[in-house]
Amino acid sequence: MSMLDDNVRCGDDGQLTCARCAAVLAAAGERHLHRALLRTGEVSLAGPHVRAADPPVVNERVEFRQLLCPSCGTALLTEVVAAADRDTRTATVPGRGAPVRRGS
Ligand SMILES: [Zn+2]
């Protein structure tokens, strides 16, 4: 078992679990944080010090995204990204010591 970050553990078989409550966040071979809950909304949800640039610096609409543990609600990943970008979080964790692959 290893820690991917403060809130996510990775088992020897690649299963990801919540470090707070041990809920399964992704079984071995599933997409990174596959079972996490997704919260989306306006950029202002990220906090009072985060806002979309005015004028915009990119030609795309951006949105707030947050992945939460489905059991205890711990925030696992928070980001402001292009709303059309749906492929960013598709990594899998194949097993301990193996590199994280993106885009699979
Ligand atoms: Zn949890």
**Centroid of ligand 1 to alpha carbon of 61 (angstroms):** 31
**Residue 91 resides in a domain:** no
Output the tens digit of pLDDT for each of the chain's 104 residues: 899 899 999 999 999 999 999 999 999 988 889 999 999 999 989 888 887 778 878 888 889 999 999 999 999 999 988 888 876 654 444 444 333 433 33
Q: What is the pLDDT of residue 58?
A: 81
Instruction: Enter the DSSP assignment of 75.
Output: E
Kindly report the pTM of this predicted structure.
0.76
Q: What is the pLDDT of residue 66?
A: 92
Residue range of the domain that includes 73: 2-82
**Centroid of ligand 1 to alpha carbon of 82 (angstroms):** 27
**Centroid of ligand 1 to alpha carbon of 15 (angstroms):** 14
Say which residues have a Cβ less than 8 Å from residue 61's Cβ, sequence separation at least 6.
Answer: 82, 83, 84
**Residue 88 resides in a domain:** no
**Residue 62 resides in a domain:** yes
Number of structural domains found in the chain: 1
Please provide residue 76's backbone torsions phi and psi, each rounded to the nearest 5 degrees. Answer: -100, -30
